[in-house]
Amino acid sequence: MNIWEIEIYELKKNVVLTSLLALKWHWVLAESLYETIKAEWASPELIDSIIEMFEIAVDSVKDEWNRERIRQTLDSLSIIKEKERLEREKEENEAIIVLENY
What integer is the mean pLDDT of 48-68? 70
Predicted TM-score (pTM) of this structure: 0.38
What integer is the mean pLDDT of 82-98? 85
* Mean pLDDT, all residues of the chain: 72
For residue 49, is pLDDT > 80?
no
For residue 39, is pLDDT > 70?
no
Contact by Cβ (8 Å): 56, 64: no
Percent residues over pLDDT 90 in the chain: 0
23-27, 47-51, 77-81, 91-95 — which one is most confidently predicted on average? 91-95
pLDDT confidence of residue 76: 74
Distances (CA, A) of 38 to 28, 31, 35, 49, 58: 15, 10, 5, 15, 21
Domain boundaries of the chain, sorted by first residue: 3-101
